[in-house]
Amino acid sequence: MDLDPIWHNLLSALVFSAMGLGIYIIGFILFDRMTPHVHFWREITEGKNVALAIFLGSIVLGIALIISAAIHG
């Protein structure tokens, strides 16, 4: 299959983006399962817990950086 370099790069980017997003979702689901007694969305919206929102944001960024480094090599 002889694809132009642009199409090859675009296809690679789409495949790796899909892989990264899938791994990211699995990682977040695992983190959510490890903390069964904490309802994140309710605590952030109803409880106005800014510290929890910042903590979850840092976890999200950490997982994304690990996945990106693993995929990039």
Q: Is residue 37 part of a domain?
A: yes
The overall longest dimension of the chain from CA atoms, in Å, is 56
Instruction: Flag whether 65 is in a domain.
Output: yes
Each residue of 11-60: pLDDT tens digit? 888 888 888 888 888 988 888 889 888 888 888 999 999 999 999 899 88
Report the predicted TM-score, pTM, of the whole model to 2 decimal places.
0.65
In a domain, 12, yes or no: no
Q: Is residue 13 part of a domain?
A: no
Residues 68, 69, 71, 73, CA torsion sign: positive
Is pLDDT above 70 for 1?
Answer: no
* Residue 31 domain-assigned (yes or no): yes
Task: Look at the chain and report how many structural domains it folds into.
Answer: 1
Q: Which pLDDT belongs to residue 53? A: 93
Q: Is residue 1 part of a domain?
A: no
Domain boundaries, position 47: 19-72
**CB pairs under 8 A, 24+ apart, for 33-40?**
none
Binning pLDDT at 50, 70 and 90, where does residue 3 land? Answer: low
In a domain, 2, yes or no: no
The residue among 3 and 46 whose pLDDT is bigger is 46
**Residue 55 located in a structural domain:** yes
